[in-house]
Structure 1
Amino acid sequence: MNDQLGRSPFSPPERPLEYWLSSELARVSPENARSRLREIAGARGTYMGAWAAGIGTGAELILLGVFLGLLLGALAPALALGLPGAALVVLCTVFYVRVRDRLPNTSRAIIHRGPGSLRQALSFLGFIVPAVG
């Protein structure tokens, strides 16, 4: 390997890593205190979760198309559901990899709230299923 010595483009840190990992600092700062690192982690997890859900939805469309195609003995359901599913998988995979390799913009507000309990989730399903179906 070729190690190049020289100046780093980054300035040296003001405090060593041991300072940030110290138990005294953890006791002083509250657990739910906002920090830039928590905002970055939350935003990154939100984006990655959304694109991963798209990948799962696309895979589900592909499997549903194959299942209906085998059940009905026709190729049309497999193509009608499989092609959009494959496109969704490819598109979401590209964006998933893109989000994974970059830091998110934390100045934008990102809302990521799911149901807080099983009761809220079932209430949501009880509302959305009759509304859609």
Structure 2
Amino acid sequence: MHLIKDENGNLIPHGHEHVHEHTHEDGHTHTHAHTHEHGHEEEHHHHHDHEHGCEGSCDTGCNGCGGAAKDPKAQLVALLGYMLDHNESHARELDDMAAKISEAGMSEAAEQIKKGVAEFQKGNMYLSLALSMVKEDK
């Protein structure tokens, strides 16, 4: 398990690369691989890769995206949905981590993580509401 930093510079235990998928309304799926900066000499950078199965990209309007690049609303719905799923995944991982840290006898640290997870869930509620509103043009 490596120690890595999250987007806010906080150290979090981590031992694998994430691969996340999201699907546009037309059924086209993108895979996003994430690697993270580790707390040692090896330097890794956070990045996202799009796997389209075509020559173009979302920005150039490849046919595999079903024209989502030409439809800003569809692009926003897909991206916001992906971000919500991503955050929910991290909240679950952090909740599991809190349980393991508690089992290791560090209940105060586990409690701080649980408080953070509660904030993630609160933020995810707002993101979910925003996603619904974007879908309904509100």
TMscore range, shorter length = 0.3 to 0.5
Higher relative contact order (CA 8 A, sep 6+): 1
Q: TM-score, normalised by structure 1?
A: 0.45
- Structure number with greater Rg is 1
More strand per residue: 2
Q: TM-score, normalised by structure 2?
A: 0.44
